[in-house]
Amino acid sequence: MFAFIANEIESYRSKFGTMTPGILPVSGNTPVGLEVGALPSGRHAWKPLADGVSPNGGTDTEGPGAVLKSVSHLPHDRFVQGTFLNMKIEPEILNSENGIMPHPCGRVYGIFYGTWKGCTG
């Protein structure tokens, strides 16, 4: 489906050149959701859609790793304007008891590429 959308968008030309696709509805998912009925996934009618390539609220039941694995299958290279993944992570996941190792500086090192949690500075 994503490749079909990218192909369709790239087929249009304007005086500025070829149109380029992106999946970046930072806030557009809310008003568009007001126009969409209930879905088989359990999403209620007229509620905000998920933002970007993020899962709908309550559907990411297998944890952040499963979300990343799922999103990794999308053809991100076709969306030259970018894609947007907004992960909602419960604070308990960042506890060292849950497998996230404390950083030597005393800060709890987060899941993603240098995201810090705990201390400011």
pLDDT digits (tens, 9 = 90+) for 64-78: 888 889 999 988 888
Distance CA 29, CA 47 (A): 9
Of 92, 83, 97, 89, the C-alpha closest to 115 is 89
Query: Is residue 71 domain-shared with residue 52, that is, in the same domain?
Result: yes
Answer whether residue 8 shows pLDDT above 50.
Answer: yes
Do residue 97 and residue 84 come from a single domain?
Answer: no
At 61, list the tokens.
């039941």
Of 1, 41, 5, the C-alpha closest to 21 is 5
Give the number of domains in the chain: 2
Query: Model's pTM, two decimal places?
Result: 0.65
Mean pLDDT value across residues 38-48:
90
Same domain, 70 and 108: no
Same domain, residue pair 16 and 73: yes
- The yes-or-no verdict on residue 61 having pLDDT over 80 is yes
Residues with Cβ within 8 Å of residue 36, at least 6 apart in sequence: 45, 46, 49
pLDDT one-digit tens code per residue, 87-112: 877 766 666 555 555 554 444 444 44
Residue 107 is part of which domain span? 89-121
Same domain? 58 vs 110: no
Domain co-membership, 62 together with 5? yes
